[in-house]
Structure 1
Amino acid sequence: MKIGALHNETELLAQAAAGSEKAFATLFHGYRDKIYSVAMRLTRSTFMAEEVVQDIFLKLWVKKECLSDIQDFEDYLFIMTRNHVFTALRRVARQQQLVDDLQLEMPSSEDSTYNRIVNQELEQILQQAVELLPAQQKQIYLLSKEQEMKRDEIAKLLRISSETVKTHLARALRHIRAYSKLKLEITISWLLFFLVN
């Protein structure tokens, strides 16, 4: 057994596979920091690392009936995390390539109409996404992003736990990312139409 592995890991995996939320929560609390550490090392982004932790455990819960078949849970988590991060980074790279390709199509002048439209639209999309957040998520997101406060500092200021701050930040980021992706796809389609016609 590896150092730091849960002593009753096999039993917990079997219980979680049978639907025990308590066993699954124990696995989550036992391994989330390790997943976060791996994701942080690969992405160098606290926000991405936090989202990876949430995504990995969501995937595990959705396919919980397979948990009892896993021989080395720590290795399994490492491989799953690494693959998830690489997929996410490839997706970001593809999106960046699309933006770069669009910029090549636009006039090179820095104050061109095209560039102004894109920048204004991106800024507006982000502001809209933030405005649509529930009040506490919005407050925590703005403290984190605009005032660059750490989770513990936000928790102390708002008199809530650091875990609550982490949860709200993860939810806020998921909402902002989903909203921005949808709006950005519409904007890019519009720009492509505009460029072609």
Structure 2
Amino acid sequence: MHSDSNPIDFELLQRLKAGDHVAFEELYNQYSKKLYWKLKQMVKYPSEADELLQNLFVKVWEKREQIVIHQTFEGYLYRVAQHMAIDYFRSLDRQSRLQDEVSRTGAIIAENTEALLFAKETQQLLDEAVASLPEQRRRAFILCKLEGKSHQEAAEIMNISPNTVHNHLVKAVYTVRQHLLKSGRDITILALLIALFQRFS
């Protein structure tokens, strides 16, 4: 036995390792108060310290067969308590980061929802703007901006040059934006993009 070991603890630990509930209760009564104050100093909150204390002794019972009885039991308990406190603060940090992410995501959802509603309000104006485009410009706009085709692919479909496709697109986008701006509405780029997506999806 280690010279620092308590003979009474040694006997109780032997009984504990054998599954003796009475020995477990005696050890709990002997060390729980000291451990509670130690945990309270580490985590600051009485309720959290009490919960950690209970969890600590649950671990002691569950891992009783792994306890090295030639080491001081008090030192063993303090080491376990320290690790549990560290895990507690890590958990708090994860929760804090999760809450920040939830708040950030909520703000984005609210912002995007507002943009979606605004986009719906501009739907009629957008329909008019697209309908007002000459056929070739409208076709180039749909092929490239909505169907995701390259200028080269659109050129082959329309039987025109890629440069002509580009010119059609520039004029089409300008026409649509001007039509919307003339309505006097403060239409954001995001609202316009969402409305365009909804119109042709």
| TM-score, structure 2 as length reference | 0.49
> Which protein shows a greater Rg?
2
